[in-house]
Amino acid sequence: MRQFGARIPAIGTPMTIHGIALLHDSTTNKSTAFTQQERDAEGLTGLLPSAIETLDAQLKRCLWQLDKKDSDIERYIYLMQLSDDNQTLFFKVVASDPARFIPIMYDPTIAAACLEFGEIYRKPNGIYMSIAQRGKVKDVLSNWPEKDVRVICVSTGGRILGLGDIGANGMGIPIGKLQLYTACAGVPPGGLLPVLLDCGTENEKLRADPFYLGLRQKRASTADLDSFFEEFVEAVQQLYPKCCLHFEDWKGTDAERLLKKYTNRICCYNDDIQGTGSVVLAGVYNALKITKGKLEDQRVLFFGAGSAAIGIANTLVAAMELEGLSEAAARERISLFDLDGLIEPLRTRLTPDQQRYVHPHAPTKKILEAIASIKPTILIGVSTVGGAFAKDVVEAMTKLNPRPIIFALSNPTDKAECTAEQAYAWSEGKAAFAGGVQFPPVKLNGKTYRPGQANNFYIYPAMGLAIFATEAKRAPDALFVEAAKALAAQVDHDGLAKGMLFPPQKDILAVEVKTAVAVANKVFELGLARVDKPADVAAWVQSLLYKPQYAEPAIGRH
C-alpha cells in the first residue's frame, strides 16, 4: 500500500518540484534539515541559513516558541501555521506531548478558534463546497490534488460543539479532526480531506460579520440539503471509491436522517452519534468495574435528547443486546430528559429516534423528580446547559447508588453540566465521573482522583486507521462496540482505583493502534474488508502508520 503524505522520493529519483517550491509545499519542506547535497541539487542554496539541523533540533525550537505564547489560542494559531509550512515538523511537535497539544488542537481551544475562524484564517486546508455549486459538485471535488482520498470529514457547521450554528466557521472542526487521525493514530495525512458543505447559516451575527467567509444567506431547506448531499455522495463514490465519510457536527435532525439513509449504502459514520456512543460505552464499561455492576442491570437517564444522546443510547442498547437482553428490554432501561422535561407518552413533536425511548412516566420538567421516579444508576449530561447537575442532583444520585456513575459530557468547559471537582465533592468521592473536557486532578480527603475525558478522539482516529487499513465497505455499530471494549481494556486496576475511566492521553498513539487492531479484526470477521486478512493483523497495521520523520536525502536531476 502506498504511503500517503511521503512525497519526497528515494535517493536518485527526480523531485517533482524544485527550488523555493520545495519550501512552500508543506509535505516536502524540511527547512533547515535539507542537507547541503540536497540544497545544491534542488536549487535551495542561499534560500536557507547555513546551519543544517536535525528534526529534533527543529522540534526544540518550536517548543521554545510555543512556550513564549501567552494563550492557547495563540498556540493554536502557531500550530496551524506550522502545519501549513512543514507537515512533518507539525506532527513531530504534537507527537512529542499529546496530552499537552490535543487540548490546543481540539477541545477546548478549537471552540475559540471556530468563533474567530474568519479573523484567524490563513489557508483553506480543504474543500469548501457551496450549495450554489449544485450540478458541479464532482468538478469542484476533483480540484483536490490527492486522487486516492480514504477519509473525508464533512460538516455543514450546523451544530458545532456547544456553539450551535456557525456555518463556514465550522471548517475548523473537520481540519482538526483529521489532524488528530494522524496525530493520535498514525493515519497517513495525504489520504485525509476536510470538507465544509456551505448551505448558509441561521446565525444573523455571522452573516453580518465582515470577516465571515461563508454564504451570507439563511440555511437551505431540508429538501435542497438532501439533494445537494446526494450529489456529493455520488461524486465521492466516483472519485474516491475507497473513501469513508465521517459526518461531523451536523444539526441533530440532519445527522440522524442522513446517517440512516447512507449507513447501509456506503462506508460512513457519524462521530457525534456513533463515536460519542462508543467512547461513552467504554467509560461505562470501566465505571462498572468500579461499581461492580453489570451493564444489563443499569438504568440510564440522559439530560439532553439530541443526536449525541441518541447515539449513546443506541450504542448502549446494542451492547446490552450482546449481553443477552432483547432490544425492547434494553430500550426500557434508558430514559431521555430535555429542556421540555422527561420524554414520556404525553410529549409531542418527538423525532422517530426519540420515540424509541418513550416509556410510561408521569410528566415532569424537573430533573430531580425524574431521578426520584426512574432511580437511575447512570446520569449522562449531553445538554450543553452549564451547571445543570447542581449539588442537589449529585446528592440525589448518591443517595440512590453506593457509587453513582455521572458523566457531564457537554463542552466547552463552561457548558459542562458539572465539574469533576463538584461531582467528587458533592458525592463525597463516591462518583465514577467522566467529563467531555479534561478536568484537572481533584484532591479530596487525602485522595487524588484523576477524572477521565470521554472525548471521541479515543475512538474516531482508531476507526479511521482500521478503515484505512482494511478498506472497509461499511462501518456498522458493531465496530463501535468493539472499539469501546478495546479502549476500556486498556485501563489497568491502578488506574481504575484513581477514578480513571480512560487511558492516559500521553499514550494515545499506542492506545489508538490497539483499538484499531481490534476494530480491523472485527471488519475481517464481518466480511467487510476489501483486502485479504494478513497473518499478523497487529504487525500489518503497525507497518501502515505514518511517522513524522523526514525522508532520506532525495537528490534530483533536472
Count Cβ atoms below 10 Å from residue 441 Cβ, excluding itself. 12
Same domain, 279 and 251: no
Most confident of 96-105, 136-145, 497-506: 136-145
The Cα 273–Cα 254 span in angstroms is 12
Count Cβ atoms below 10 Å from residue 497 Cβ, excluding itself. 12
The Cα 111–Cα 491 span in angstroms is 29
- pLDDT score recorded for residue 248: 93
Q: Which amino acid appears at position 163 of this protein?
A: L
- pLDDT score recorded for residue 10: 34
Residues 6+ apart with CB under 8 A from 494: none
What is the greatest pairwise CA distance in the chain?
80
Q: Give per-residue pLDDT as tens, 174-187.
A: 999 999 999 999 99
The Cα 545–Cα 510 span in angstroms is 11
- The answer, yes or no, to whether residue 12 has pLDDT greater than 70, is no
Q: Give per-residue pLDDT as tens, 153-209.
A: 999 998 877 688 999 999 999 999 999 999 999 999 999 999 999 999 999 999 999
CA 209: distance to chain centroid? 28
- Phi and psi at residue 441, in whole multiples of 5°? -55, 150
- pLDDT score recorded for residue 552: 77
Residues 6+ apart with CB under 8 A from 4: 146, 148, 150, 188, 189, 190, 191, 546
Band of the pLDDT at 505, cuts 50, 70, 90? confident
Count Cβ atoms below 10 Å from residue 403 Cβ, excluding itself. 17
Q: Is 177 a catalytic residue?
A: yes
Same domain, 306 and 249: no
* Strands (E) located in 350-409: 378-381, 405-408
The Cα 313–Cα 302 span in angstroms is 9
Same domain, 153 and 189: yes
Same domain, 347 and 431: yes
The Cα 332–Cα 299 span in angstroms is 9
Q: Is 482 contained in some domain?
A: no
Buried-exposed string 86-124: b where 16+ CB fall within 10 A, e elsewhere: bbbbbbbbbbeebeebbbbbbbbbbbbbbbbbbebbeee
Q: Is 120 contained in some domain?
A: yes
Average pLDDT, the chain: 93
Same domain, 436 and 344: yes
> Per-residue pLDDT averaged across 357-382, rounded?
96
CATH classification at residue 341: 3.40.50.720
- Phi and psi at residue 155, in whole multiples of 5°? -135, 155
Total domains, the chain = 2
Quick one: cell of 323? Answer: 449481553
Quick one: cell of 151? Answer: 477519509
Q: Is 5 contained in some domain?
A: no
Same domain, 327 and 235: no
Residues 177, 485, 514, 522: which is the catalytic one? 177
The Cα 544–Cα 546 span in angstroms is 7
Same domain, 301 and 431: yes
Residue where a domain terminates, one of 245, 266, 287: 266
Same domain, 112 and 246: yes
Same domain, 182 and 323: no
Band of the pLDDT at 9, cuts 50, 70, 90? very low
Residues 76, 106, 212, 424: which is the catalytic one? 106
Which helix (DSSP H) or strand (DSSP E) does residue 103 occupy?
A: helix 98-105
> Per-residue pLDDT averaged across 321-327, rounded?
93
Helix axes 252-262, 307-322, angle to 10 degrees: 40
CATH classification at residue 139: 3.40.50.10380
> What is the end-to-end Cα distance of the chain in Å, rounded?
28
Residue where a domain terminates, one of 457, 479, 512: 457
Q: Is 407 contained in some domain?
A: yes
Beta bridge partners of 519: none
Same domain, 230 and 365: no
Quick one: cell of 525? Answer: 470477521
The Cα 470–Cα 23 span in angstroms is 34
Distances (CA, A) of 483 to 431, 465, 478, 520, 529: 25, 12, 9, 10, 17
Residue 231's domain comprises: 104-266
Q: Give per-residue pLDDT as tens, 345-359.
A: 999 999 999 999 999
Which helix (DSSP H) or strand (DSSP E) does residue 176 occupy?
A: helix 172-185
Same domain, 110 and 231: yes
Structure-derived torsion over alpha carbons of residues 8, 9, 15, 20, reported in degrees to the nearest 10: 20
> Per-residue pLDDT averaged across 242-261, rounded?
91
CB of 418 closer than 8 Å to CB of 425: no
- The answer, yes or no, to whether residue 4 has pLDDT greater than 90, is no
Same domain, 334 and 453: yes
Distances (CA, A) of 465 to 182, 387, 456: 9, 36, 14
The DSSP annotation for 500-538 comes to --S--GGGHHHHHHHHHHHHHHHHHHTT--SSPPPS-HH
Q: Give per-residue pLDDT as tens, 266-286.
A: 999 999 899 999 999 999 999
Q: Is 51 contained in some domain?
A: no
Q: Is 338 contained in some domain?
A: yes
Q: Is 226 contained in some domain?
A: yes
- C-alpha torsion sign, points 416, 418, 421, 423: negative
Structure-derived torsion over alpha carbons of residues 368, 371, 374, 376, reported in degrees to the nearest 10: 170
Q: Is 38 contained in some domain?
A: no
Residue entry with cell 476536510 = 194
Provide Rg for the chain, Cα atoms: 24
- pLDDT score recorded for residue 413: 84
Cis omega before residue 553 (within 30°)?
no
Residue where a domain terminates, one of 409, 429, 457: 457
Count Cβ atoms below 10 Å from residue 504 Cβ, excluding itself. 15
- pLDDT score recorded for residue 107: 78
Band of the pLDDT at 13, cuts 50, 70, 90? very low
- Phi and psi at residue 196, in whole multiples of 5°? -115, 115
Band of the pLDDT at 554, cuts 50, 70, 90? low
